[in-house]
Amino acid sequence: MNIFSDELRESKQEVQSTRAILETQKTLCANQEKEICKRRQQLDESVEALEQMREELKEARKKASGLDWKLKERTLKEQIETERLEYTRKITTLEARIKMVQCIYYLFFGIHRFFKNFMRNFF
């Protein structure tokens, strides 16, 4: 009977040791579970922040694209205005030349008529 009581005592001690180990493991698992939940929450928050940043980046790209387009549009308008002024200047110069040629033409034919009439009347 002594052998059985010794074995029973040893078994009880092993059971208590095993329970203590299991309780320790249970506590560790609970702590790990809390840590995992905490990290999962942080991860979710990080994912949400990343999604928000992506949306902001898309908006920023759209705005930058719009600003870039506005800059290009303004540059094109300036080029068009410069060309318009240049062509206006050329047209004005050509009109002045035409008037000068017309004046010379009328002057020449006026002098020609004058001399023609003068010669007719004089000779």
pLDDT in tens, 59-103: 888 887 777 778 888 999 999 999 999 999 999 999 999 999 888
Q: Which among 107, 108, 114 has a CA at the least distance from the CA of 122?
A: 114
Amino acid at 6: D
pLDDT in tens, 23-32: 998 898 889 9
- In the chain, how many domains are there? 1
Tell me: the pLDDT tens digits for 30-51? 899 999 999 999 999 999 999 9
Structural domain contains residue 102: no
Q: In this structure, is residue 98 part of a structural domain?
A: no
Tokens of 23: 């309780």
DSSP per position, 42-104:
HHHHHHHHHHHHHHHHHHHHHHHHHHHHHHHHHHHHHHHHHHHHHHHHHHHHHHHHHHHHHHH
Separation of alpha carbons 21 and 110, rounded Å: 129
Tell me whether residue 53 is in a domain.
yes
Looking at residue 114, what DSSP letter applies? Answer: H
Q: For 2-14, give one letter per residue: b (16+ CB within 10 A) or e.
A: eeeeeeeeeeeee
Task: Let me know if residue 41 belongs to a domain.
Answer: yes
Residues of the domain holding 30: 1-87
Q: What is the pTM of this model?
A: 0.44
Look at residue 115 and tell me if it is in a domain. Answer: no
Kindly state whether residue 74 falls inside one of the protein's structural domains.
Answer: yes
Task: Please give the angle made by the CA atoms of 112, 118 and 121, to the nearest 5 degrees.
Answer: 140
∠ CA 14-16-22, nearest 5°, is: 100
